[in-house]
Structures are given as C-alpha cells and as structure tokens.
Structure 1
Amino acid sequence: MTDLVDTFTQRGDLAHLALFLWASSSSLLAVQALRALAASSRRFDDFVAALSRFNDNLRRRS
C-alpha cells in the first residue's frame, strides 16, 4: 500500500488518491449496509414463518 501512496505522491496526484480512498470506503460501507439489510430481512422472514406455524397450530387445536 505504501508503494501505491509513494507513486501518487511523486506524481502529485493526491486528489486522485483521496478520491480513490473515499470511493473505496464508501463502497465498503454500502456493502456492509446491504449485508446487514439482507440479514435483517432473513430474520424477519424467519419470524413470519414461525408466527405462521404458531397460528396453524392454534387453528388445528380449535
């Protein structure tokens, strides 16, 4: 990583380096947010399925 930074600093492209780091970190945060959203959706689906099984059991007993 330091070789990459040295290359950019020697050429004077610090703005490009900063933009690359910003874009990389933003993309990483977006991926993490989407993973958390997918996990939340799976947990909600599991909850709805369990609730449906519970309701089916109650209907059979009645």
Structure 2
Amino acid sequence: MDSLIRTFAERGDLAHVALLLWALLASATCWRALNALTQASARMDAFIRELARFNAHFEDEA
C-alpha cells in the first residue's frame, strides 16, 4: 500500500485520485437526492389522488 501511495505522490496523480473520489461522492449524493425527490413526488401524487377520490365520494352525497 505504501508503494502505491508513493507512486501516486511522485507522479502527482494523487490530486487526480482525490478529484475522482470527490466527483464520485458528489454524483452519488446527487443521485440519492434525485431518488428522494422522485419518491416524494410519487407520495404527493398518491395523496392528491386519494384527496380527489375522497372529495368525489362526498360530493355525490351532497
């Protein structure tokens, strides 16, 4: 492991590895946020659909 780190440090590629790790982490965070937003949108859609069904049920009785 030490030789691997030394190789990257000598060639100056350690910054590239750090940048790659940062980009992967940022992409994963974005992906999770987008997934959570999609799920929240689906829950809101289900809520609105149930609310419309509830209103339609009581609208017929009035």
TM-score category of the 2 structures, normalised to the smaller one: 0.7 to 0.9
Task: Calculate percent identity across the aligned residue pairs.
Answer: 42
Q: Which residue of 1 aligns with 2:50?
A: 50
1:12 shift after superposition: 3.2
Runs of 4+ in structure 1 off by over 6 angstroms are none
Q: Which amino acid aligns with 2:27?
A: S
In structure 1, the gaps of 5 or more residues are none
In structure 2, the gaps of 5 or more residues are none
Q: Which residue of 1 aligns with 2:33?
A: 33
2: distance between equivalents of 1:20 and 1:9? 18
Residue 9 and residue 40 in structure 1: after superposition, are their counterparts in 2 closer, same or farther (change >3 A)? farther
Task: Name the TM-score, length of structure 2 as normaliser.
Answer: 0.84
2: distance between equivalents of 1:61 and 1:9? 78
